Structure formats: structure tokens, C-alpha cells
Structure 1
Amino acid sequence: MLLLVVFFFVLNALRLVHAVSGTSLTTLLNQLDDTSKCNSQIISSSLHIILQQYLQREKPNLLLLAKIITQSSRPYSVQLPKNANFVNKSPVTMNSTEPLYILQLYCNQHRQQRHTAAIWHPILIYPLETHNSFLVIKLPNIDLYACTSSNCTNSKVIINFCD
């Protein structure tokens, strides 16, 4: 019976990730499992949607503030929180004026092949409209209930980026 329940949860998670982006859950989990390269990034439309929906639900003021700052004619005059800063070059290649949600791997141990203490941090990147720079916000570690983004809201599939 337990195996059947686990299968149901995994199947719903696969449907969610595939429906959102065409990416399989296996691919996403394999990317999250690979902690061999510090500062590596995962850029995926499924992650973008899941993180965006989380922020819209849990931290709507953060999104509003980021939007106001990036549309300001003088964004550099704004006092930013410690987890945000302006950069001249985006941490990733951006082909759009829309914000980008990514995961970046942070490691404490630099010389090991597999970084067991590595943590995937969610990051929000907003291009500034009037300047050739970007607002980068390192989001707090969060537990994401991925099924709130799909039709499997009764299951308990959790993607935890801070184990």
C-alpha cells in the first residue's frame, strides 16, 4: 500500500513538472542531485513557475518592491536589503526583459568532488529598465509544495532546496 501511495505522489509530481515545462521530474531531480560543481545553476521554466507562484503566494510585497525598483528612473538611490544588490552583469545569460528565477549551488567545501554540504539557493534576477544592470535577490531557503502549482493539490510532493 505504501508503495502505491509513493507511486501516486511521484506520478503527480511528474505530471506537474512535465505539464509546466516539458521537463521530466527525473531530469530536474538529477540536476538537483549533482553537487559536483559549486556555483552551478539550474535554469528551468518549471522552476521559474514554481518559485514565482511561491513568491506570489508567500511574499507578494517582495515581488512588488522588486518591480518598483527595476522600473524606477533612479534605482540606485533605493536602500536594498542585505540579500539584494545591483550588478552590471547578470549571473546568467538573459534573453528577456522579464525576471528570471533560478537555483544556484553554494558550497562550503571547495576541494571535494562531491559537496555534501552544498545548498541550492533560489535567486531572483530582475533586469533594470532604464539602466544596463540587474537587481539580484538571494531568496531565503524555502520548502516548496510543488503541487500547489498543479492539479495534484491533495498530494504531499515537496521539493526542498535546503536539505
Structure 2
Amino acid sequence: MGLSKRRAHLRKAWFKKGCVSPKKGQTVAFPTVADNEFVRFEKKSFDRRVHTSNNVLTFKDTDGTDTTVSALRPRPNASNVVDEYSGCGDESLYPDLCTNKLMVQAKVQALFYSSFKEHRQDKPNCEGDLNFDAAYSIKWGLGWRELLKCTKCSCMCDYHNLYEEVENKKRSG
């Protein structure tokens, strides 16, 4: 039985024992993949880095320079235990009312007593509640300056420091 044409050709092209390979010493160059790097950012990161102008997406690096990264569609934000419990639960409240603040209890009592008296004198028939107005809170170092606002008549009381002031002793000499 004779050899097929294909098999006969392969016998001629095969490497034969004792012969030097024609490719000896040559390196094989494989095609390189593009330099673009594909990254799937979280939604918050994606919104900070990807900008749209005239329906063209531009990508900015963290320092604001253009980058060659090709972003994929964003993945959802990762949630952790802190995010789960940091929400207030009541959407009608100002978000800062659900945060922890450092306050001196005696100062908070003084704020409420003086604000109740002031509100009762100014609006004797008002039946609204006095609540912290978190939109106007002022942070001073670790302490806070707060005021109370009526829920019915929008009466605002004066600011009160809810921290103890420390006397500043300057060194002499």
C-alpha cells in the first residue's frame, strides 16, 4: 500500500536524525496583547473616575490625569457591616441626627431648658416639639454648637456650646 501525498510530503519535511534544525538560535516572537488593562470598578469609584462629555467617556486616574485603562460596566458597591448599620432607618430625619456626637450632658440640659423657656415666652400657644436642627450644627474640634428648632412654628433658639471650653495657657519665655 502506497503513501498518501500528504504523508509523503510530511516525510520530506520532518526533521531527520543528525540534521541541524533551520530554526536553531532563532527566537519566536509571540504577538503581544494590547497595553490596555480592563478593570471593573465599584459604582462609587466608577462615577468618580469616568466622565462624560459629548457622549464620549473619558477616564481619569486618581490624580486627575488621563489614563489608558478601559473600564467595564461598574459592579455594585460592596457593602460591609459598617454600611449596614450606619443608616438611620428613618428617611425623614436629617442624616446627621443619626450620628454619634461628643457632648457634655450638663450643656445639653442647659440648651433644652433655656430653649423651652424662650419658646414658651415667644409662642405661648405653640404645641410643637423642639428638635436639634442638624442642618445648622457647627463642629468645633471635637465639640458641637447646636440650636433647637420648633417643628410647628419654625422658631429657632440661640446657639449653645455643648462642650467645655479649656483656658489656653501660653508659655512665657
Taking CA–CA contacts closer than 8 Å with sequence separation of 6 or more, which of the two structures ends up with the larger relative contact order?
1
* TM-score normalised per structure 2: 0.27
Q: Looking at CA atoms only, which structure, 1 or 2, has the larger radius of gyration?
A: 2
Query: Which protein has the bigger helix share?
Result: 1
* TM-score normalised per structure 1: 0.28
